[in-house]
Structures are given as C-alpha cells and as structure tokens.
C-alpha cells in the first residue's frame, strides 16, 4: 500500500504529516513494515532521520528511504524495490509548481493521495491551477483512481467548527475528490517537535515533567491519530 502527502506548494505540512503518520500508534499497530520515503531532492527528512539515528532513537518497524533523482525511471524503480519489502509506503512529495514530476508519480502510483489545504484563496487558487488539472486528467485516463484523492483541511483554528470546514470543502470539490472527515489544526508544537530527530509522541513524552506543556502537546498527538485513522479507513 502506498499513501502520499501531496501539494504543489511548500509549507503545507506534508513532511510533518508524513513523519508522524508513519510513527502513529494507529499505523504501527497495523503494519509490520513501514517505509517513510522522501522524494524531495533537498533532503529535509533525510537530515531529520540522520539526527534520529545519531540520538539512538527506536525506529520500531519504520525504515527511511531518500530518492533524490529527478528521472522518472529511477523513481519508479526505487519505489518498486522499496514496496517489495514493506507493507506500507508513506511518500513525502516536494512542492512543485512547474514540472510536477514527483507529484505526477505520486498521484499515479499511490493508493491514497492526501492533499493538505487551507481554507484560503491562495491555497484554493494554487490547487485549481496546478494540482486539480493533473488529477482530472489522471482520473479521465484511469477511472479506477476515482476515490483515491482526499483533501485534508490544514492549519485550521483549533477552536473552529470542524464540520463547517469539512462541509465547505465537500461543496467546492469535484465529485472525484473528497474531504477527509478530520482537520489538521494549527498548533505551535508542529514547528519544533522534530528537534533531535523526534516524532510528535516522543516530543510530548519529553515534556512529561511539565503537565501543562505535556497536555497541550498531546493534543497534537491526538490530531495525528485521528488523521491516520481517517486515511486508512478509506482503504477498508
């Protein structure tokens, strides 16, 4: 199974979601071998993983792979090789507004494509002009891809009405793209949880001596578990 986090613009939370979904309790309990795969040539996740290894952190049954090539054949061969040894692949796809090579690959080969998107004019415009035409063409050529694409409302106000946000997206989306029944709230902890190669649960546990900070951070842990649950329920 392949799950991708895709958006043609940067700064939408794809890497944060990729890391923490791979290490979510929901995923760890259900898959024997999980591959976290970075397709971004810049290697942001690679640096994070190297810190993780240096700190001696337990990776459980998660492995990391970095495919930095911009050649379609190399990417395809690399993903195929990784998929042959793992039950689940989670792809972190770079933001691409021009060639969209990695984006096209992820949309074509993934079982589930999660698209983090804010309820903002800029995000909606970028989606409409860059990603939507690609998905529309893919669904036209491969009708079985209908039902593979999901919007994840991102950076929402934690106090906002979740149902209204989800309803908003469902109203504006074409019928071959759905909105997940969860949101990805804006929380300051997402900006600094990954120090020293940590994932969000490890970071929360590191704050256990500070009850208030621990409780606040565990809200983010709960966010990720709800998101993971929503993603994989669509595979049932």
What are the domain boundaries of the chain?
2-233
Q: Is the pLDDT of residue 122 over 60?
A: yes
Its pTM stands at 0.94
| Residue 113: how many other CB atoms lie within 10 Å | 26
Q: Which pLDDT belongs to residue 42?
A: 85
What gap in Å lies between CA 206 and CA 210, rounded to an integer?
Answer: 9
Q: Which pLDDT belongs to residue 12?
A: 83
Confidence of residue 90 (pLDDT cuts 50, 70, 90): very high
Spell out the alpha helix ranges (H) of the chain.
14-22, 25-30, 44-54, 72-83, 101-109, 121-126, 132-141, 162-172, 200-206, 211-233
CA nearest to 5, candidates 98, 95, 126, 101: 95
Q: Which single residue is written with the structure tokens 């190297």? A: 50
Q: Which pLDDT belongs to residue 234?
A: 63
Mean pLDDT of the chain: 92
Q: Which pLDDT belongs to residue 45?
A: 94
Q: Which pLDDT belongs to residue 150?
A: 97
Architecture of domain 2-233: 3-Layer(aba) Sandwich (3.40)
Angle between helices 72-83 and 101-109 (to 10 degrees): 40
pLDDT tens, 192-225? 899 899 999 999 999 999 999 999 999 999 999 9
Contact 180, 144 (CB under 8 A): no
Contact 134, 100 (CB under 8 A): yes
9-13, 107-111, 207-211: which has the minimum mean pLDDT? 9-13
């Amino acid at each position: 199974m392949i799950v991708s986090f895709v958006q043609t613009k940067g700064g939408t939370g794809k890497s944060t979601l990729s890391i923490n979904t791979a290490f979510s309790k929901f995923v760890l309990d259900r898959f024997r071998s999980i591959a976290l795969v970075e397709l971004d040539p810049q290697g942001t996740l690679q640096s994070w993983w190297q810190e993780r290894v240096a700190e001696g952190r337990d990776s459980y049954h998660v492995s990391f792979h970095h495919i930095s090539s911009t050649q379609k054949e190399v990417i395809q061969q690399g993903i195929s090789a990784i998929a042959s040894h793992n039950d689940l692949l989670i792809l972190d796809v770079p933001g691409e507004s021009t060639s969209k090579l990695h984006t096209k690959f992820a949309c074509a080969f993934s079982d589930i494509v999660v698209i983090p998107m804010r309820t903002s004019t800029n995000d909606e415009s970028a989606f409409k002009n860059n990603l939507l035409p690609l998905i529309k063409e893919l669904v036209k050529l491969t009708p079985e891809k209908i039902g593979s694409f999901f919007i994840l409302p991102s950076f929402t106000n934690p106090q906002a009405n979740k149902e209204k946000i989800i309803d908003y997206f469902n109203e504006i989306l074409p019928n071959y793209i759905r909105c997940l029944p969860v949101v990805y709230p804006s929380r300051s902890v997402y900006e600094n949880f990954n120090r020293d190669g940590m994932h969000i649960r490890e970071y929360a546990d590191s704050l256990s001596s500070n009850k208030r900070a621990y409780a606040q951070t565990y809200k983010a842990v709960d966010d990720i578990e709800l998101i993971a649950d929503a993603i994989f329920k669509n595979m049932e």
